[in-house]
Amino acid sequence: MQAKPTVPVNCLFQGCYNPEFEAEIRKCKDKCHEYNQLNPNDRESQLRILAGLLGGMGENVIFTPPFWCDYGYNIFVGDYFYSNHNLIINDGVKVSFGDHVFIAPNCCFTTAEHPVDPEQRKAGLEIARPITVGSNVWIGAGTTVLAGVTIGDNSVIGAGSVVSRSIPGNVVAVGVPCRVMREISEEDKYRYPLYNGN
């Protein structure tokens, strides 16, 4: 098997106008297109494609179509991963999710950054930094998680957030830019009434 091209981490590299990377992205887009054309309830075919697309996948993994990524093999998801419609992952380098991660609709995770300098940007230089999401994390609708971010275990990211800096575990964070609002507490167990079926 031919070795896949490796994107360097945290330094400028020739990301655009690079035939080797462009070929990998085209192959990935073909797989994403095939995935997105399936009946959304065809779990067997979905899992077959995901197994050949992702770098690693736990049990009970659901990517609700449509789903798009750049390489696929840089994405690692744990057990009981669920993403709703329109997830985009620009996975130039590793993007990892722990167990029991919920991602609401219209979210984007991007490891790519472009230079501020216009000449470097015009030349197609990029920077790539990994993203790490812990276990038991809930990402609210319309959230964007930027390159280099880590989100700690058990945290909740509010809808519409732009996560440009790392977020610790066990907190609720929201906003543009995303900031910690408070710690998750025992009181959160009683935030909503429990439906008893009567």
Q: What is the pLDDT of residues 56-69, one digit of tens each?
A: 999 999 999 999 99
pTM of the entire predicted model: 0.94
Q: How many domains does the chain have?
A: 1
Q: Examine residue 195 and state whether it is found in any structural domain, yes or no.
A: no
pLDDT tens-place string over residues 123-161: 999 999 999 999 999 999 999 999 999 999 999 999 999
**ω into residue 177 within 30 of 0, thus cis?**
yes
Confidence of residue 195 (pLDDT cuts 50, 70, 90): confident
Which residues fall within 8 angstroms of residue 27, CB to CB, at 6 or more apart? none
Task: State which H helix or E strand residue 13 sits in.
Answer: strand 13-14
Mean of pLDDT over the chain: 95
Among all residues, which ones are annotated catalytic? Answer: 114
State the residue for tokens 């959160």: 188
**Of the candidates 104, 25, 110, the residue with the CA atom closest to the CA atom of residue 64:** 104
Q: Examine residue 20 and state whether it is found in any structural domain, yes or no.
A: yes
Name the residue range of residue 121's domain.
Answer: 13-182
Q: Examine residue 100 and state whether it is found in any structural domain, yes or no.
A: yes
Q: Examine residue 40 and state whether it is found in any structural domain, yes or no.
A: yes
Length of the chain: 198
Task: Tell me the Cα Rg of the chain.
Answer: 18
Q: Examine residue 189 and state whether it is found in any structural domain, yes or no.
A: no
**Of the candidates 121, 184, 120, 177, the residue with the CA atom closest to the CA atom of residue 149:** 177
Which residues fall within 8 angstroms of residue 165, CB to CB, at 6 or more apart? 149, 177, 178
Confidence of residue 198 (pLDDT cuts 50, 70, 90): low
Burial of 155 (0-12, 13-18, 19+ CB in 10 A): buried
- In the predicted structure, residue 2 carries a pLDDT above the cut 70: no
Q: Examine residue 192 and state whether it is found in any structural domain, yes or no.
A: no
The dihedrals phi and psi of 129, each to the nearest 5 degrees, come to -135, 140
Q: Examine residue 194 and state whether it is found in any structural domain, yes or no.
A: no
Mean pLDDT score, 166-181:
98
Rounded distance, CA 58 to CA 193, Å? 32
Here the CATH number for the domain that contains residue 85 is 2.160.10.10
156: DSSP letter: E
Rounded distance, CA 160 to CA 169, Å? 19
Which residues fall within 8 angstroms of residue 90, CB to CB, at 6 or more apart? 69, 70, 108, 109, 110, 111, 112
